[in-house]
Amino acid sequence: MKKIRVLGIDPGLAHTGFGVVDAAGGTLRMVSYGVIETASSEDHSTRLLAIYNRLLAVIDEFRPDEAEMEALYFARNTSSALAVAEAKGVITLCLAQQAIPLTMYTPNQIKTAVTGTSSADKETVEQYVKLLLNLKTEPKPDHAADALAGAITHIHSSLPGRL
């Protein structure tokens, strides 16, 4: 049976969530998840480099076949939106250098794919991720849960005909 490993990414400057999910046949299996954190007390460029280096370590450890990242959407705070956009650029570069195909989904696409509704709150998304991956507890923190949800979305949206 063919297996595909997907790396889901919830981008951010302070917190970048990641989740690794295997798909084989109709089965999903959580491999790993976590959060790459950077401190606001660090120099901006140092924080971006830390995201790059830690994501590269995740890639080296888990060897994903494909990646998913949450698309940037409208934000009220322009400065935080720019910081997220910079983090997304670093993440995109890291994946491109490793020749890992990247697909992006909006938050509403992810919520709909995982829960069936675009109006789901964070707790509902976490509960569905727990159910879909057959976990004992909801994945925490929410950045990691969002990354797992993104990986699940990619599997459901892009891979059915290839498994």
DSSP the chain: --EEEEEEEE--SSEEEEEEEEEETTEEEEEEEEEEE--TTS-HHHHHHHHHHHHHHHHHHH--SEEEEEPP---S-HHHHHHHHHHHHHHHHHHHHTT--EEEE-HHHHHHHHHS-TT--HHHHHHHHHHHTT-SS--SSHHHHHHHHHHHHHHHHHSGGG-
Which residues form the catalytic set?
10, 70, 143
Tokens of 27: 């089965």
Q: CA 128 to CA 122: how far, in whole Å?
A: 10
Q: Note whether 79 and 18 are within 8 A (CB).
A: no
